[in-house]
Structure 1
Amino acid sequence: MSFPQNMMNILKERIIKNKYIPTDHKKPLPTQARFLCNMKEEVLFGGQAGGGKSDALLMAALMFVDYPDYQALLFRRTFRDLDLPGAIMNRSHEWLNNTDAQWSEKKKRWTFPSGATLTFGHLQFEKDKYSYQGAELHFIGFDELTQFTESQYTYLHSRLRKGADNPIPLRMRAGSNPGGIGHGWVKERFISENSNLDYIPSNYTENKYLNIEEYGRQLDKLPRAERLQLKYGNWDLLLEDGLLITRSEAEAHIVTDYPYTKEETLLNLVSVDLAGEGKDKTALISLNKTSNGLYLADTQQLQDSKIEARVLAFIQKQIDLYNTYGVVFELEPGSNSEYSYRYWKNLIQSQFPNLLIYKMRPTKSKFERTRLTVKYMNLNQLFFVERKERQADKELDVTTLINQLMYVNPDPEVMKQHPSPDLLDALNQGVYYMDQWTTSKRKNVRRINYRKKK
């Protein structure tokens, strides 16, 4: 591929003649070349996974190390991200270990014979940005920008400065895929129609260092939203679709009536997710097992401090409709959770002595627990009953549940941006219990059977 003469001049002087850039990288990929030759102050390179973003950032950081006062800084969000095999700091050692650049393990810094430096840093916590308060930098690079907050990026941008007569260009560079806690602000800053900054889309299909067909097949194994983000560089998916299921796919499981009689309902279980601190709500769901799968028959969310009567009323309603067999509680870590469970167990059994009361301790993240729920949906074995008489309800809980399915995320920082998914937590533990009852994998679950209550 041929480039304009001005790009060829930059590539020749700053890449091809640069002894710190390995020979096999002296002919960058076309999109990398556009990124490297762009001398505007801010540029984002990214979109598709596998497009050579980290290599491009490292090359960009090394372009002016022949200038004595040149200072470059490359960031990942955590030190672990920096230090992983194949990550950008590890890669710098592959490139520079056999050169005259000197490495300081304490400072995580390469120093070149000219006096120029390339430092690696991380911003795991918001306050870490202040560690660079006095810095004066010519180049700042963010690897996986959507893992950072906007305030971290803008604060470090203020550290980009130089003297009036200094010929080194000031460059703020970033590489990133869609998704992550910073998706919204990165999209707004670089991708939106209102942005006047340069965004260069990456393309894994031009990466000569990849087995392109095999890499594409691996990306095809991802959930739909992640696949669209990483394989196709789609920035428009964040909350319209979830990472595990799309909104339209989830809404296809809403039914307006429960199609089975009380006698035809094989099992009814009430699942309770007790409120924690802050704005959490106590969530109750009623889950029915039928010959056609599971039906979420009823839901309720409570935030009052005195909720005992309403919880008991909810359970009584399910007993009247479906002949409820048991109630399951989720126990969060800590002694208070155990105390709360004992309190509720005694209260419920004082009113309903024949009900079995169970407790569960979650061993996986909310995101991982949701996978089983989505599996049942994908098998067309889980449905949400939204009765016609409740469709005008301002607190319609099926709609809330669908929203929670959309924003559940493996990244705890992303989850902090949304209300606690209480209904989804209750549903997940109910589905898990029904699944275990069906497969009889746990001894305490085997106690659930069709035997009649006394």
Structure 2
Amino acid sequence: MPQKGPQEKFLATSADIAIYGGAAGGGKTYALLMEPLRYIYTKGYRAVIFRRSYTQINASGGLWDESTSMYLGIRGAIPKKSPKYHWSFAKKSILYFDYLGRDEDLNRWQGSQIAFIGFDELTHFSERQFFYMLSRNRSTCGVKPYVRATCNPDADSWVAKFIAWWIDPDTGYPIKTRSGKIRYMVRIKDEIIWGNTKEELVEQGIDETNIKSVTFIASTLQDNKILMEKDPGYLANLKALTIVDQERLLNGNWKIKAAAGLYFKRTQVGEMLEQLPNDIIKWARGWDLAATSEDEKGDPAYTAGVIIGKRKNGRYVVADVINKRLSASEVRNLVKMTAQADKAKYKRITERLPQDPGQAGKEQAQSYVKMLAGFNVKVIPESGDKVTRAEPFAAQWQAGNVDVLIADWNEMYFNQLESFPESKFKDMVDASSNAFSEIESGVTYSTPSNDSSLGKKSYWT
């Protein structure tokens, strides 16, 4: 059974298109998996639930795992993984799980007839993907075609514009009195025309058969009492996020965006230290390398290196910051000279460099690893945008868990962090993100070396 409140409202709505969510932990995926069960004994019923990537379907705790925990006890339910993940129910209906990573993946669904289409995390899909699949939303099994979707807030997504009527334009929070209210729309030449009633659109000369009813139903973690009881620590996890992500995932804010001052403030520093503490258990210097000495507008690019240490008590220390405008050859010399100085000063420090995409990036990475033979060095491909990569470090910064050594680079460092992500240069933030990721990456290996006392290669962790 659905839980009382938004989840029940989502499963009860008569809208052709219903979007459910607005915060993390509201029971969205569970509701999406529950939806098709009402028609599983209807002969010819076909349904599909999409995720953005294949991994999100078969990963531990993903759609397939969740569906297995729900469906295995149902009479006639048979799970199958070939040719794609799907459930067959009493040989009458089928529920597929599939991905739409790119617009080109839509070609696989040409000519399809799908009574129920679900999108888990709708903001991850393009507007074209959504409306194209709407054209596949048809049925001959007697079930009126319909679409259900879940999502978390994303101010920059097309979904934010699509559901704008249900969102307060000043605060960004869902309007409680509008949650679950049905409106009507038609899409003509990529433009959506809205009406409060179907009659409003018909009076404008729009064919009634082209009109779709739409609703948005807001939910928060507080609406999912089962999760709150089973995992009371989940709320603490959300509160440990950055201010921006707390607003999005905890409070359901659809207007919040990354802006200067929302990630790092110098007033959030735990302590300004006159000397380094002696209880550091792990050191890492993260690098952000400038490929050239100038950017396309003639402004010199920067190379940054930031050292972060983790203490036994779980706090972090920013111990050193380098930020220089250099040519490509000078960057290599700087990295090697700095690694030599770091090795002499800091115990078992890891130098972490970013790897650019493509073959050129791999070759550059191999070159740096060869140049830094004998040092603890990692070259890691970067994934996600700069803001996403900065969020783990920013969360600790905002919680007051980061201390900073007093040095002449402080003002330069604070100025860039406080202007992130709006500032033109973000090199010191990127370098900090890389250092923090390395600190929290788990096991770190040194370059293998022959240890005569052991008679074999040794590694430290």
- Same fold by TM (over 0.5)? yes
Identity %: 22
| SS of corresponding position for 1:118 | strand
CA distance in 1, matches of 2:321, 2:235: 37
Q: Which residue of 1 aligns with 2:431?
A: 426
Cα displacement (A) at 1:385: 9.2
CA distance in 1, matches of 2:262, 2:115: 44
Does the C-alpha gap of structure 1 residues 252 and 154 become closer, same or farther in structure 2, counting only changes over 3 Å?
farther
Q: 2:91, 2:415 → 1: CA distance? A: 62
Cα deviation, residue 57, structure 1: 1.3
Quick one: which of 138, 148, 157 aligns to 1:161? 138
Q: CA deviation at 1:48?
A: 3.2
TM-superposed CA distance for 1:140, in Å, is 0.5
> Which is higher, the Rg of structure 1 or of structure 2?
1
2:253 corresponds, among 218, 225, 234, to 234
Query: Counterparts of 2:259 and 2:66 in 1: how far apart (Å)?
Result: 36
Counterpart of 1:219, as a letter, is L
Shift of 1:72: 1.2
CA distance in 2, matches of 1:432, 1:123: 29
Match among 60, 65, 76 for residue 100 of structure 1: 76
Task: Measure, in 2, the Cα distance between the counterparts of 1:85 and 1:147.
Answer: 20
**In structure 2, distance between residues paired with 1:214 and 1:97:** 21
CA distance in 2, matches of 1:78, 1:308: 41
CA contact (8 A) 1:67 1:114 kept: no
Superposed CA RMSD: 5.5
Measured after TM superposition, the shift of residue 270 of structure 1 is 10
Q: Partner of 1:247: helix, strand, or coil?
A: coil
Secondary structure of 1:424's match?
Answer: helix
Contact 2:389 2:433 in 1 (8 A): no
**What CA distance in whole angstroms lies between the structure 2 residues aligned with 1:38 and 1:135?**
25
Report what 2:265 is aligned to. Answer: 250
> Would the alpha carbon gap of residues 249 and 114 (structure 1) be closer, same or farther in structure 2, given more than 3 Å must change?
same
Maintained 8 Å contact 1:54/1:175? yes
Which residue in 1 is equivalent to 2:33?
58
Stretch of structure 1 that moved more, 150-159 or 191-200: 191-200
Name the counterpart of 1:451.
Answer: none
Amino acid paired to 2:236: D
Deviation at 1:138, TM superposition (A): 1.8
CA distance in 1, matches of 2:254, 2:353: 37
**Greater strand fraction, Structure 1 or Structure 2:** 2
Return the offset for 1:190: 2.2
Q: Deviations over 1:60-114 (max 9, x none)?
A: 2233345434321112233333234554434444425541345443143334458
| Cross-structure match for 2:312 | none
Residue 188 (1) aligns with residue 181 (2): no
Distance across 2 between alignment mates of 1:161 and 1:55: 24
Structure 2 distance, partners of 1:61, 1:249, is: 45
Query: What amino acid does structure 2 have at the position aligned with 1:127?
Result: E
Whole-Å separation in 2 of the counterparts to 1:82 and 1:66: 24
SS of the residue corresponding to residue 45 of structure 1 reads: strand
Structure 1 residue 44 displacement after superposition: 0.8
Instruction: Provide the TM-score with structure 1 as the length reference.
Output: 0.58
Name the counterpart of 1:220: 236
Correspondence for 2:46 among 45, 49, 71: 71
Give the residue type in structure 2 aligned to 1:119: Y
Q: Is the 8 A contact 2:76 2:89 kept in 1?
A: yes
Q: Does the alignment pair 1:201 with 2:218?
A: yes
Q: Which whole-Å deviations, capped at 9, do the CAs of 1:379-429 have from their partners, x for residues lacking one?
A: 462389999xx9xxxxx986654455x59xxxxxxxxxx999533233456
Deviation at 1:237, TM superposition (A): 3.3
The equivalent residue for 1:381 is 403
For 1:150 and 1:65, locate their aligned partners in 2 and report how far apart those are by CA, in whole Å: 29
TM-score, L = length of structure 2 = 0.57
Other-structure match for 1:273? 288
Which structure 1 segments of 5+ residues have no match? 1-24, 316-324, 346-356, 391-395, 408-417, 436-440, 444-454
| In structure 1, C-alpha distance between the alignment counterparts of 2:439 and 2:93, rounded to whole Å | 63
One-letter amino acid matched to 1:188: K
Structure 1 equivalent of residue 111 of structure 2: 134
Find the aligned partners of 1:43 and 1:365 in 2 and give their Cα distance: 36
CA distance change for structure 1 residues 133 and 399 in 2, over 3 Å: closer, same or farther? farther
CA distance in structure 2 between the partners assigned to 1:69 and 1:432 by the alignment: 50
Change (3 A) 1:221 1:56: closer
Shift of 1:259: 12
- Give the unaligned 5+ runs of structure 2: 170-191, 195-213, 278-283, 310-316, 338-344, 356-361, 448-461
Alpha-carbon distance between aligned partners in 2 of 1:199 and 1:384, rounded to the nearest angstrom: 51
